């Protein structure tokens, strides 16, 4: 399709890519400084993103209950020292303000009879507490409704079914002047003139067919192409899921007595972790245990809920929302009771921990380009309950505020229409042609990342195999992808960001020759603080290829000197 | 994965299509039963069809459907009596969809683009006397069918009642509309009176290769001032000084002379005049091709019996210029307002189907949003490459 001009042009003070919780919070933050804030999202205008499917629970350092420094110590411990302490401290401090903000807007959290907030410690970390929303299943929709109502009140513009394909920068200053993309149902091309863009597009992911299928790393893709640095690419977040169906709330099942067992019926996790944590451990470590069991031939893996007391099962029984529909249908159509029986479970790669590097105002090294929550890499492959809903709120609000403040000072900067047109033509080129299906490209990438020896128990040999196949997809398959319909073009662009995340993940995994947090190298199973208390950054080199380089964690500057490590709770077999 | 959509239960409201995060659903709006809005519209526009396309931002395709029945949406989008909105099923939920503003959006979009001239494939010419709604409508459809059309207007500027009754249209959109028709290849000759004993007679035009005529001269309120009498040599004139035409065919007592609009006394609204002009164009085409004027026309339509409404969430109607950030001067919707308001349309009587089934992520949003319980999601998910090997198929 030849593009002579843009079908639609939009002017905004701040453009936010992604209308999930981060993007909505960014809009609330930006509106403190500027009037014209525009959110675009690939999904429908009114949905609120993946957070709608969450539990609506919130990780929070409650004032008067917990000290920020104690919580920070817990996170440094949990992240095995690989922690941006200044950023995390900021998040922990502001978590309480956003919690109060949520309650002010009408999303309330559970309190006990005396009116005290009920904080549930996460992953055996006593200062990291999750505030609950009840009834179970209603929290995500409640948060989404609350935030959508607020952005409507603030007059935030929102457009759905919009795919942004490139950030446009000024040729001389390198500052952001806009973005280009297209409307995914009509295929009409769009230009956005704006001095500030917030990437709030979630994490990279490989379309696990369960609730996480809409984010594919387009924030990372846009940031990388615009010249921002990325980090945490060697980490993926692996989650335990039922083989056949979807389920939410697994982290609540284990502390209440449910157990993962192997084909022999053994509670295999006892072998791999210390009794200190019990079952209340991080999911990544559970999944690594499953992978070792699989290697020993003791599969399938089951979740056994029979040890749960009936009253505890009642607590975890879905009461609202999609989870209730799902549960009812499982019982009526498939005879699956779930409680009081064993069901087959497995690890599944849920999202890429990698993302864009920013400063404390969440601005990347590209002036005018900001990133929030999972598009901003924060975690090394481990995850606490309620953490995403905390970080979407806190980092979204700060990033939006930073973008708004910058836009207020700058005004609109004039648009490089020629550069934008070229970028857009390139993005639209595969439309209306015959070629490989984007779904097949995605399936190739899933087959690269999903095997346990790539995502859970890594080695030089398995990662090299993955890298070779990634290169093949990049050089031979992806250039041949084409589509007939703009709706499918969006899927093709998703496959391209998945491809970038795949390459970043495999290359960074090869580079980190040690084990730490969510990254486990069978050939380097120990932590190596001397060489690897470092982040691995990745950015675009002069040829547009990936360049990787280590950046030291500035421990000397940080408050907390790492001395204990979460990974030391576990022992896995040495080969 | 999505398991089924019960077509019997589906009322076409589009809740699944509008709410799906992965954009799995599409609607089939091409159904035998007619939605209440279309039923009420004198021009019979397939409103659910074009608004469904607007919901997807497909303005060009929407314009095609709209203009198949009404060629002047920029004008009617400002002047129509909104018969459609009065019958809109949404009035039982909250307020009618702002169809008029959507129509204006499409009309303005069309006028903002320079059209390719129509290819003229017929040798003879057609004369349209009068450049109001009926005249412009007939001229448009004949031009699209490949006829060379000349519109004669006795006033100095074309537009008829649009110019005299709506002075606010005169300098802006009306001129753009006429300019647009001109670019299609329609010729306007203004300041020329046509008729018996006038500057130009039909007989003279017949000699200049005019094969047929449309009389669309309007009708002044005062019957003594009507412009009809100069056509008494070709058409029979009623006591009220109106032109008598045969029902449905719009033909006068002369085989090559047709009439539509207020001059025939029909309907007395812009929309009726447009419909008359369009139908007369069809008759003229049939006349020139020697075909029966009525065969196969006016097929019986079924009125939709049970439009959606129950269980649909209330969303406030969007009126023009309702967003505070709008730059001043433009009174119509902008793209994002158009998308938002078009989403309020319940596309009554459409049928939903899964167009991109393999993207379902089991979120149950469609099932929970469907007010009729027509969408069923199966709890089993897509079969993906596995992280660990497995030996046993099934849940246990």
pLDDT surpassing 90 at residue B31: yes
For A246-272, what is each residue's pLDDT tens digit?
988 777 788 788 989 999 999 888 888
Pairwise pLDDT comparison (A396 vs A127), residue with the higher score: A396
A400/chain B closest Cα distance in angstroms: 18
For A48-57, what is each residue's pLDDT tens digit?
999 998 888 8
- The pLDDT of residue A276 is 64
For B111-121, what is each residue's pLDDT tens digit?
999 999 999 99
Distance, CA of A482 to CA of A433 (rounded, Å): 6
> Which runs of consecutive H residues, i.e. helices, occur in B42-89?
47-55, 59-67, 73-79, 83-87
Residue A186 to residue B390, Cβ atoms within 8 A: no
Cα first-last separation, chain A = 55
Interhelix angle A387-410/A21-30, nearest 10 degrees: 40
Strand ranges of the sheet holding A369-371, from the earlier edge strand across to the other edge: A157-159, A37-40, A14-17, A197-199, A369-371
- The pLDDT of residue A411 is 77
Domain A239-347 fold: Flavocytochrome C3; Chain A, domain 1 (3.90.700)
Closest partner CB to B388 (pick from A47, A452, A490): A452
CA angle (A22 as vertex; B354, A18 as ends), nearest 5: 45
Would you call the peptide bond into B7 cis, given omega within 30 degrees of 0 as the criterion? no
List, in order of start, the domains of chain B with CATH numbers.
30-113+309-349 (1.10.1060.10), 125-288 (3.50.50.60)
- The pLDDT of residue A514 is 98
Say if residue B175 is exposed, middle or buried (CB neighbours under 10 Å; 0-12, 13-18, 19+): middle
CB B281 within 8 A of CB B142: yes
Residue A155 to residue B21, Cβ atoms within 8 A: no
What's the Cα-to-Cα distance from A160 to each of A13, A148, A186, A222, B353, rounded to whole Å? 18, 13, 12, 18, 21
Residue B339 to residue A44, Cβ atoms within 8 A: no
User: Which of A27, A148, A182, A246 to mutate to probe the B interface, most B CBs <10 Å?
Assistant: A246
Distance, CA of A390 to CA of A133 (rounded, Å): 13
pLDDT surpassing 60 at residue A3: no
Q: Which residues of B touch A42 (CB under 8 A)?
A: 23
What's the Cα-to-Cα distance from B118 to each of A533, B13, B67, B186, rounded to whole Å? 71, 37, 15, 9
Closest partner CB to A157 (pick from B325, B362, B396): B325
Q: Which residue of A has its CA nearest to B375?
A: A325
- Report the percentage of chain A scoring pLDDT > 70: 98
* B141-158 mean pLDDT: 97
Distance, CA of A550 to CA of A560 (rounded, Å): 21
B300/chain A closest Cα distance in angstroms: 33
Closest partner CB to A487 (pick from B23, B323, B387): B23
- The pLDDT of residue A279 is 61
Residue B384 to residue A341, Cβ atoms within 8 A: no
Where in A72-161 does DSSP place strands (E)? Answer: 119-122, 125-131, 157-159
Closest partner CB to A36 (pick from B325, B378, B382): B325
What's the Cα-to-Cα distance from A28 to each of A44, A148, A367, A397, B315, rounded to whole Å? 19, 10, 21, 7, 22
- Is the minimum CB–CB distance between B387 and chain A shorter than 8 Å? yes
CA torsion angle B138 B143 B147 B150 (round to 10): 70
- Is the minimum CB–CB distance between B367 and chain A shorter than 8 Å? yes
Per-residue pLDDT band at B157 (split at 50, 70, 90):
very high
Would you call the peptide bond into A474 cis, given omega within 30 degrees of 0 as the criterion? no
Residue A245 to residue B323, Cβ atoms within 8 A: no
For B308-366, what is each residue's pLDDT tens digit?
999 999 999 998 875 555 444 447 899 999 999 999 999 999 999 999 988 898 899 99
B353 backbone dihedrals φ, ψ, rounded to 5°: -145, 160
For A266-323, what is each residue's pLDDT tens digit?
988 888 876 666 666 788 899 999 999 999 999 999 999 999 999 989 888 888 888 8
Q: Which residue of B has its CA nearest to A327?
A: B379
Residue B390 to residue A344, Cβ atoms within 8 A: yes
Q: Which residue of B has its CA nearest to A325?
A: B364
- The pLDDT of residue A278 is 61
- The pLDDT of residue A134 is 80
Domain locations along chain A: 8-236+351-424, 239-347, 431-569
pLDDT surpassing 90 at residue B95: yes
Pairwise pLDDT comparison (B304 vs A121), residue with the higher score: B304
Residue A325 to residue B367, Cβ atoms within 8 A: yes
Domain A8-236+351-424 has CATH 3.20.20.140: no
- The pLDDT of residue A1 is 37
For B64-88, what is each residue's pLDDT tens digit?
999 999 999 999 999 999 999 999 9
Residue B381 to residue A43, Cβ atoms within 8 A: no
Q: Please state which CATH number belongs to domain A431-569.
A: 1.20.58.100
B6/chain A closest Cα distance in angstroms: 17
CB A231 within 8 A of CB A511: no
What DSSP assignment string belongs to B275-309?
HHHHHHHHHHHHHHTT--SSTT-S---EEPSS-SB
Flag the least confident range among A60-64, A71-75, A316-320, B99-103: A316-320
- The pLDDT of residue B329 is 45
Locate tokens 């490089």: which residue?
A416
Distance, CA of A53 to CA of A248 (rounded, Å): 9
For A160-218, what is each residue's pLDDT tens digit?
999 999 999 998 999 999 999 999 999 999 999 999 999 999 999 999 877 778 899 99
Residue A341 to residue B391, Cβ atoms within 8 A: no
CB B393 within 8 A of CB A342: no
Q: Which residues of B touch A44 (CB under 8 A)?
A: 18-21, 23
B66/chain A closest Cα distance in angstroms: 17
pLDDT surpassing 80 at residue B201: yes
Pairwise pLDDT comparison (A282 vs A527), residue with the higher score: A527
Mean pLDDT for all residues in chain A: 93
* A25-31 mean pLDDT: 98
Q: What is the ipTM of this complex?
A: 0.94
Bridge-based pairing of strands A369-371 and A119-122 is: unpaired
- Report the percentage of chain B scoring pLDDT > 90: 81
A210/chain B closest Cα distance in angstroms: 5
* B218-225 mean pLDDT: 82
Where in A148-287 does DSSP place strands (E)? Answer: 157-159, 162-169, 176-183, 189-193, 197-199, 230-231, 236-242, 259-261
Per-residue pLDDT band at A93 (split at 50, 70, 90):
very high
- Is the minimum CB–CB distance between B57 and chain A shorter than 8 Å? yes
pLDDT surpassing 80 at residue B50: yes
- The pLDDT of residue A575 is 67
pLDDT surpassing 60 at residue B57: yes
- Count each helix (H run) and each strand (E run) in chain A, helices first: 17, 20
Q: Which residues of A touch B360 (CB under 8 A)?
A: 209
Per-residue pLDDT band at A457 (split at 50, 70, 90):
very high
Flag the least confident range among A219-228, A522-531, B232-241, B254-263: B232-241
């Amino acid at each position: 399709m030849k593009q002579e001009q843009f079908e639609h042009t939009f002017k905004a003070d701040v453009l936010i890519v992604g209308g999930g919780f981060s993007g909505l919070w960014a809009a609330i933050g930006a509106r403190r400084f500027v009037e014209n804030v525009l959110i675009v999202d690939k999904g429908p205008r009114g949905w609120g993103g993946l957070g709608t499917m969450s539990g609506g629970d919130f990780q929070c350092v409650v004032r008067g209950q917990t000290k920020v420094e104690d919580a920070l110590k817990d996170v440094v411990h949990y992240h095995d020292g690989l922690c941006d302490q200044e950023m995390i401290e900021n998040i922990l401090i502001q978590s309480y303000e956003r919690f109060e903000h949520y309650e002010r807007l009408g999303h309330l959290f559970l309190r006990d009879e005396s009116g005290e907030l009920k904080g549930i410690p996460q992953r055996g970390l006593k200062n990291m507490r999750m505030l609950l929303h009840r009834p179970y299943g209603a929290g995500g929709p409640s948060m989404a409704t609350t935030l959508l109502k607020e952005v409507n009140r603030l007059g935030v513009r929102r457009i759905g079914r919009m795919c942004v394909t490139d950030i446009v920068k000024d040729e001389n200053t390198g500052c952001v002047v806009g973005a280009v993309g297209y409307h995914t149902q009509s295929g009409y091309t769009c230009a956005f003139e704006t001095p500030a863009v917030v990437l709030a597009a979630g994490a990279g992911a490989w379309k696990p067919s369960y609730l996480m299928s809409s984010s594919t790393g387009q924030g990372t893709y846009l940031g990388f192409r615009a010249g921002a640095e990325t980090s945490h690419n060697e980490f993926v977040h692996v989650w335990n899921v039922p083989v056949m169906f979807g389920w939410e709330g697994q982290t609540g099942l284990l502390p209440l007595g449910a157990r993962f067992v192997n084909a022999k019926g053994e509670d295999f996790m006892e072998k791999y972790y210390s009794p200190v944590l019990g079952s209340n451990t991080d999911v990544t470590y559970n999944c690594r245990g499953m992978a070792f069991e699989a290697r020993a031939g003791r599969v399938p893996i089951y979740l056994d809920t029979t040890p749960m007391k009936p009253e505890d099962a009642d607590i975890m029984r879905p009461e609202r929302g999609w989870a209730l529909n799902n549960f009812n249908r499982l019982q009526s159509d498939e005879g699956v009771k779930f409680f009081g029986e064993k069901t087959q479970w497995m690890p599944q790669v849920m999202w890429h921990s990698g993302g864009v590097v920013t400063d404390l105002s969440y601005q990347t090294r590209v002036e005018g380009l900001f990133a929030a929550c999972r598009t901003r890499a924060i975690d090394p492959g481990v995850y606490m309950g309620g953490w995403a809903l905390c970080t979407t709120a806190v980092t979204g609000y700060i990033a939006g505020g930073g973008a708004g403040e910058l836009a207020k000072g700058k005004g609109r900067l004039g648009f490089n229409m020629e550069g934008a047109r070229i970028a857009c033509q390139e993005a639209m080129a595969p439309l209306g042609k015959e070629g490989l299906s984007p779904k097949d490209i995605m399936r190739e990438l899933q087959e690269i990342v999903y095997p346990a020896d790539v995502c859970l128990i890594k080695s030089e040999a398995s990662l090299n195999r993955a890298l070779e196949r990634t290169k093949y997809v990049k050089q031979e398959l992806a250039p041949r992808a084409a589509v007939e319909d703009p709706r499918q073009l969006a899927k093709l662009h998703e496959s391209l960001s998945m491809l970038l995340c795949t390459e970043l993940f495999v290359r960074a995994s090869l580079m980190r020759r040690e084990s730490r947090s969510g990254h486990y190298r069978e050939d380097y199973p120990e932590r190596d603080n001397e060489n690897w208390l470092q982040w691995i950054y990745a950015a675009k080199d002069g040829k547009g290829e990936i360049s990787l380089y280590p950046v030291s964690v500035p421990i000397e500057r940080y408050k907390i000197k790492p001395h204990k490590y979460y990974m030391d709770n576990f022992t896995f077999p040495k080969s | 994965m999505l398991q089924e959509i019960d077509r019997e239960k589906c009322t076409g409201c589009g809740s699944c299509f509008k709410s799906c995060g992965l954009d799995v659903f599409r609607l089939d709006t091409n159904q035998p039963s007619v939605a209440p809005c279309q039923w009420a519209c004198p021009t019979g526009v397939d409103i659910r069809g074009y608004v469904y396309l607007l919901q997807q931002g497909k303005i060009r395709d929407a314009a095609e459907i709209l203009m198949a029945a009404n060629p002047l949406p920029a004008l009617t989008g400002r002047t129509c009596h909104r018969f459609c909105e009065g019958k809109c099923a949404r009035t039982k939920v909250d307020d009618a969809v702002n169809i008029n503003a959507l129509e204006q959006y499409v009309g303005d979009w069309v006028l903002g683009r320079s059209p390719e001239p129509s290819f003229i494939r017929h040798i003879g010419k057609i004369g349209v006397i009068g450049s109001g709604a009926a005249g412009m409508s007939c001229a448009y459809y004949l031009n699209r069918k490949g006829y060379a059309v000349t519109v004669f207007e006795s006033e100095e500027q074309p537009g008829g009642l649009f110019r005299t009754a709506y002075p606010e249209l005169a300098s802006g959109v009306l001129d753009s509309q006429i300019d647009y028709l001109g670019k299609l290849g329609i010729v306007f000759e203004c300041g020329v009176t046509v008729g018996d004993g006038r500057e130009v007679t039909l007989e003279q035009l017949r000699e200049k290769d005019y094969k047929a005529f449309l009389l669309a001269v309007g009708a002044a309120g005062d019957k003594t001032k009507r412009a009809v009498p100069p056509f008494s040599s070709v058409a029979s004139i009623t006591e009220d000084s109106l032109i008598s035409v045969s029902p449905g065919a719009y033909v006068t007592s002369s085989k090559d002379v047709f009439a539509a609009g207020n001059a025939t006394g029909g309907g007395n609204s812009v929309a009726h005049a447009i419909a008359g002009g369009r139908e007369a164009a069809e008759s003229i085409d049939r006349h020139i091709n020697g075909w029966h004027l009525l065969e196969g026309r006016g097929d019986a339509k079924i009125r939709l019996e049970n439009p959606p409404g129950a269980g649909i969430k209330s969303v406030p109607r969007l009126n023009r210029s309702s967003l505070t950030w709008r730059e001043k001067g433009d009174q119509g919707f902008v793209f994002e307002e158009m998308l938002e308001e078009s989403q309020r349309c319940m596309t009554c009587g459409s049928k939903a189907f899964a167009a991109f089934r393999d993207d379902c992520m089991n979120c149950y949003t469609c099932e929970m949003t469907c007010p009729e319980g027509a969408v069923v999601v199966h709890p089993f998910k897509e079969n993906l490459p596995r992280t660990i090997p497995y030996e046993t198929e099934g849940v246990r």
